[in-house]
Structure 1
Amino acid sequence: MLDACRAAGVSHIDTSNVYGNGRSEEIIGDWFARTPGARQDMVLATKAGITRSPDRRFNNDPDYLEASLDESLQRLGVDHVDLFYIHRYDRSHSPEEVAGTLKRLMDKGKTRAVGFSEIAPSTLRRAFAECPIAAVQSEYSLSTRAPELGLVQTCRALGTTLVAFSPVGRAFLTDAPFSFDKVQSLAFTKGNPRFMQPNYDANIAATDGFRALAADMGEPAAALAIAWLIAQGDRVLPIPGTKDLSHLAELIRGTEIDLSAEDLARIETVLPVGWAHGDRYNAAQWEGPERYC
């Protein structure tokens, strides 16, 4: 898959120390080691701040973050990353304190740029006053548009990139959304409000119109979802994930579509703001992300 991404011109890899308990980073590091030139072709991002301790789920202590980054660098087989995120902001520290820690990691050459994930615009502004914040990662798609209530605007004003994860709505915005049986087999979705009944059936029905529109336009639904995000401005970067080469091709196709004002209006008609049934997270999943609206 990584070879296919590189061949297609994909140049950004996003991972974390908790993905597969470090296994994701090891796979990427192995690929770099056996693929000459691959590291130079990629913007490499990783994250830290989520712990495996039931006593403290999030840790932004300076020593902890630096040790976590050092371990990530070892697994990745590199001496620095291009972007290091705080995966979850730990409210026992001020945004300024955490940004100061990130700046010190930059000064040490362990990362070229820094970012946060799932923070409020106010937290971003406070952190940015201490250290330039290159990126904020947040869920953003046609099914999750809360970032438009402040985060998109703040990122634009500061010159920060909004890195949009789950850009195809966890498969709802594709031509092959997860079946309800599949949903029940996945740890995240089986307890997520949007994938529980009756919300699941309502969300499938709501997105049927989007799939029909994409077909009418001659495009895969996933491609249209990616194209919509890109059309939200040059400070929005979608980061889809996939294990399937055909789906990868659909996602890449989305970067090639230039949507007109009429196209955007048609999309807005079939999926207006607030169409999704159910909250994007359950109570446990909301632990860590900052709500701001």
Structure 2
Amino acid sequence: MENRHIGPFTVANVALGCMNFCHAYGSPVSTEQSHAVLHAALDAGVTLFDTAALYGFGASESLVGPVLKPHRSRITLASKGGMAGVRGEDGVMRRVIDGRPRTLRRNCEDSLQRLGTDVIDLYYLHRWDQRVPIEESVGEMARLKEEGKIRALGLSEVGTEALRRAHREHPIAALQSEYSLWSRNAELGTLAACKELGIAYVAFSPMGRGFLSGKLQGVDGLVKGDIRASMPRFAPEAYARNLRLLAPMQAIAEKAGCTLAELAIAWVLHQGEHVIALPGTTSVDHLLEDVRGGGVRLDAAVLAELDELFKPEAIAGDRYALQAQGEVDTEKYPFEKR
């Protein structure tokens, strides 16, 4: 893997997202398995680890903190606030988007405690609470930086206009949004804006939530609690149509001398020197495959083939259902539902 830059940090071009251990894809994996993936990532040269207050309602931060603590001097630790779990009067934890300054401060302080660290290297606004001017949320994050609780600011799933507004309030080090061969909304503005402003683009779900690995050949086996079951492009009919893209992708991978997963990671990284791939996994083997993708070089002909095969209009189904679409500020293609 080569190194790339996020604000003041130099990191490997493939990072590790720590959501999968305990959030969004069904039952949490064992602590032992999670720790095995984290240690394998450290051994493989991964230097950026990404978690959030939301993931498992704090469980991910509590899990990764002790493992990463002995390595803090050589890694970059990222977390997020502004979307976290809140316990209702019925005792049930629910996800709440809240970008008010006092909430962000509380989220950050809770994250510091769970992670067992004095400072979070890169702290993101997980979702822009559009009831709150983005300048107010970013302003509070800037104060947290002044107090030494965080070192750099990031945003997640915002569009170009909000990104520019936030960057005028305080320099933004990173924008984290979904970006892969089958989710190319970044190309509608934010990818170019990040390059212009010197902001790293941290591409989450570069594997298309497992689709681009070729290992998920059907959606009938998705377990209860797997968020993909509510995503339009994972609906059975849409997914069956999307699967037709994998055979020609496999042919391209064979010409390039790599696996589907390595090809998917490499394509993302070829979209700009400011792009960092952020896959998540609970498998050591999958982790190592992702890392190998960070070293694959693709020529212009291969990139052109992939761009043509995965034209946005060729993908069946939106990336989010309507409610979730309303929670993100990213640019949308004309054919996506609003």
SS in 1 for 2:97: coil
More displaced stretch, 235-244 vs 268-277: 268-277
| CA deviation map 1:202-229 (0-9, x unaligned) | 0111222212321343211011011011
Q: What does residue 41 of structure 1 align with?
A: 74
Within the alignment, does 1:29 sit opposite 2:56 as a pair? no
SS in 1 for 2:141: helix
Residue in structure 2 matching 1:63, options 70, 77, 102 = 102
SS in 2 for 1:284: helix
Q: What does residue 173 of structure 2 align with?
A: 134
2:49 & 2:136 partners in 1: Cα distance? 27
Within the alignment, does 1:5 sit opposite 2:37 as a pair? no
- The one of the two structures with greater contact order (alpha-carbon pairs below 8 A, sep at least 6) is 2
Aligned residues: CA RMSD: 1.7
Q: What does residue 232 of structure 1 align with?
A: 271
For residue 30 of structure 1, report the CA deviation from its aligned partner. Answer: 1.8
1:229 & 1:56 partners in 2: Cα distance? 30
More displaced stretch, 209-218 vs 109-118: 209-218
For residue 56 of structure 1, report the CA deviation from its aligned partner. Answer: 8.6
Structure 2 unaligned spans of 5+: 1-36, 89-93, 333-338
Residue in structure 2 matching 1:280, options 315, 319, 323 = 319
SS in 2 for 1:82: strand
The 5 A counterparts of 1:1-293 are 1-33=37-69, 36=70, 38-53=71-86, 57-177=96-216, 179-183=218-222, 185-293=224-332
Structure 1 unaligned spans of 5+: none
After TM superposition, the score normalised by the length of structure 1 is 0.94
Do the aligned partners of residues 205 and 173 (structure 1) sit closer, same or farther apart at CA in structure 2, a change above 3 Å counting?
A: same
Q: Percent identity?
A: 39
Which structure shows the higher strand fraction?
A: 2
1:183–1:195 CA contact under 8 A, matched in 2: no
Q: What does residue 11 of structure 2 align with?
A: none
Amino acid at match of 2:100: D
2:271 & 2:184 partners in 1: Cα distance? 11
Amino acid at match of 2:57: N
For residue 178 of structure 1, report the CA deviation from its aligned partner. Answer: 5.1
Do the aligned partners of residues 197 and 175 (structure 1) sit closer, same or farther apart at CA in structure 2, a change above 3 Å counting?
A: closer
SS in 1 for 2:155: strand
